[in-house]
A and B are shown apart, each in its own frame.
Chain A
Amino acid sequence: MESVIGGVLGAVAVLAGATVFVVNSMARATYSLLVSFLAVAAMLVLLGSTYVGFLTVVMMTVEMAIMGVFMLMYMMNPAGLMPMSMRHNTRGALVLSVGTFLVLSVGVFAVPWPGRQGKPARDVTYDLGTALMGRHMLTMIVIGTALLATMVSGVMLTSARGRYDRYGDELDRRPPTDPVRGGVGR
């Protein structure tokens, strides 16, 4: 029974993933990607990793909602009203990806995978939490630092005019160069 559910969810995940690059509308592409993520999250729950599965659901739903906005901002054809090709080197990409899939699937069936070792903990989420706060603390530290660095660089990259633009590299330019002159005595 579980294999059947897993197979159906897997088919949904792959087909929804493929739909992303087929549909014309950007909203449809975004929500197909969301369906693909939700199917994978359900498969993770099926595998017993409830916490990571639900984390995927929460994170990806919000991420796709934000992505929808960016799609409308940066796409040539946001509403899909004007069908046009948005691909380059389609044949090469197709050959490479089909080749990768064939190599990977041959590996999947050719490798003698080891049998299951050990039994899952009674509460796998508790197990994950204690591991992150104990033995795997280094992972947690790296994750935290990486996320902080992402926040800082994201703000830096997206700010239109920062103080270095106004006051120069040494922050000593007075008065600052502003596109519109203003203020007292300037």
Chain B
Amino acid sequence: MNIELFLLVAAGLFSVGMFGALSQQSIVMLMMGLELMANGVLLAGGAFWRLVSPGSPDGQVLLLVVLVVMAVEMAMGFAVTSAIFRARDVDLTDTATDLKG
């Protein structure tokens, strides 16, 4: 197993997720893109742990943090979607531009 293979797949997942996060109109689909990006980070972290420093558990701890980030992102994303849908009937990113700079 070489680290390049895993990192290449991770880069692919990250880029596909980035395409989704940037191009999707629906807030739910946008979150799917963000999840895919975190998925790539998870894989890259696993590869670094095993193929660079398997002696210490620090890499696995980092993987656990990434998993928690994915769970929190999904929960808060759906909560915000529910709140904004209930308040203003918004389910598209194009109609929720309040924070646009």
B7 neighbours in A (Cβ, 8 Å): 104, 108
Chain B 64-101 per-residue mask, 1 if CB under 8 angstroms from chain A, else 0: 11011011101110111111011000011110000000
Contact B74 A63 (CB under 8 A): yes
Residues in A with CB closer than 8 Å to B28 are 67, 70-71, 74-75
Contacts of B70 in A (CB 8 A): 59, 63
The answer on a CB contact under 8 Å between B18 and A96 is yes
Bound together, the chains give a CA A21 to CA B18 distance in angstroms of: 11
Segment 65-86 of A: residues with Cβ below 8 Å from B: 67, 70-71, 74-76, 86
Q: In the complex, are the beta carbons of A52 and B55 less than 8 A apart?
A: no
B16 touches A18 (CB 8 A): yes
Cβ A43 vs Cβ B24 within 8 A? no
Q: What number of B residues sit within 8 Å (CB to CB) of A?
A: 71
Question: Does any Cβ of B come within 8 Å of A127's Cβ?
Answer: yes
Q: How far, in whole Å, are A116 and B67 apart by their CA atoms in the complex?
A: 24
* A43 with B36: CB separation less than 8 A: no
Q: Which B residues, 31 to 74, have Cβ-Cβ distances below 8 Å to chain A?
A: 32-33, 35-36, 39, 42-43, 46-47, 49-58, 60-61, 63-65, 67-68, 70-72, 74
Interface contact A20-B78, CB-CB below 8 Å: no
Is A56 interfacial (CB 8 A cutoff)? yes
Q: Please tell me if the beta carbons of B8 and A105 are within 8 angstroms of each other in the complex.
A: yes
Contact call A14/B12, Cβ cutoff below 8 A: yes
> Can you report 17 A-B residue pairs in the complex whose CB atoms are below 8 A from each other?
A3-B1, A11-B9, A13-B43, A17-B39, A21-B23, A47-B1, A48-B54, A56-B42, A74-B91, A97-B15, A97-B16, A101-B12, A104-B15, A128-B60, A131-B61, A136-B58, A157-B82
Interface residues of B (CB under 8 A from A): 1-9, 11-20, 22-29, 32-33, 35-36, 39, 42-43, 46-47, 49-58, 60-61, 63-65, 67-68, 70-72, 74-76, 78-83, 85-86, 91-94
